[in-house]
Amino acid sequence: MSDLFAAQYRETRTQLSEQACVLHGYALDVVDALLTDIRAIEASAPFRHLVTPGGHVMQVAMTNAGTFGWCSDRRGYRYDRVDPQTGTRWPALPPAFLQLAANAARDAGFDGYVPDACLINRYAPGTRLSLHQDRDEDDRVAPIVSVSLGLPATFLFGGFARADKTVRVPLQHGDVVVWGGEDRMRFHGVLPVKPGLHEILGEQRLNLTFRKVK
Ligand code: MD3
Ligand code: FE
């Protein structure tokens, strides 16, 4: 990528709808700090493949940081203060995470964003995330902020019913998606990640999603 292209891409914004947008390259300046923090988080709360209430093992590997962590098992989906695998609290949200989430939310029109949870998703090549809504949070209006790192992916941006038409949104390393308000409850998913080798992250894609649970 030429420096000129990189500089211009970084300032681009794609408005997906009224209150959903992609801030291209928004996290590029802080990637090193994020990756250092992720390594510390996974040292105490390792990535794991959760089981759905239906008994399927999720393709995406997950861990959490923050007051609340998203969990799934045969009993259902929920947020818990404690990592069921270790019996201890989830690692705290690092300052670099909170700063990035608040800045991105502000630039997308949501002032004063203070998330209390960050779900960290890890995708190997071939991994997908099927169409779903994020509906386990008490706050259904506060934005969700998503940070993409590593291999590129194609997001499916849907409507408010599962069967609604979806739009494909390509996402690259460093892109940040913010969606709140009326767009908070849209169906969304990720197509299977194509095989590849990212210069920093190798054969994987990481995604941070910040949420306000309580
Ligand atoms: C919102 N994660 O963890 S976030 C999740 O890339 C989750 O790991 C995905 O969905 C991931 O719950 C996607 C970014 C995103 C993409 C498309 C959307 C959010 C969206 C479309 C509508 C609303
Ligand atoms: Fe989601």
The structural domains of the chain, with segments of one domain joined by +, span 13-211
* Cα–Cα distance, 173 to 26 (Å, whole number): 10
Q: Which residues contact 194 (CB under 8 A, 6 or more apart)?
A: 125, 151, 152
Q: Which amino acid is it at 43?
A: A
Which listed ligand is nearest to 63 at the C-alpha? 1
Kindly list the distances between the CA atom of residue 175 and the CA atoms of 40, 69, 148, 197, 208, in Å, as whole numbers in the listed order.
22, 23, 5, 18, 11
Q: CB-based burial of residue 123 (10 Å sphere; 0-12 exposed, 13-18 middle, 19+ buried)?
A: buried
Query: Given this model, what pLDDT does residue 140 score?
Result: 85
Q: Which two tokens stand for residue 188?
A: 């969304």
CA of 118 to the centre of ligand 1 (A): 13
CATH number corresponding to 13-211: 2.60.120.590
What pTM value is reported for the model? Answer: 0.96
Evaluate whether 148 touches 170 at the Cβ level (below 8 Å): no
Q: Which ligand is nearest the CA of 189, by number?
A: 1
In this prediction, the residues of the chain whose per-residue pLDDT falls under 50 are none
Task: Map tokens 């998703």 to a residue.
Answer: 121
Specify the residue with its C-alpha closest to ligand 1, atom 20: 188
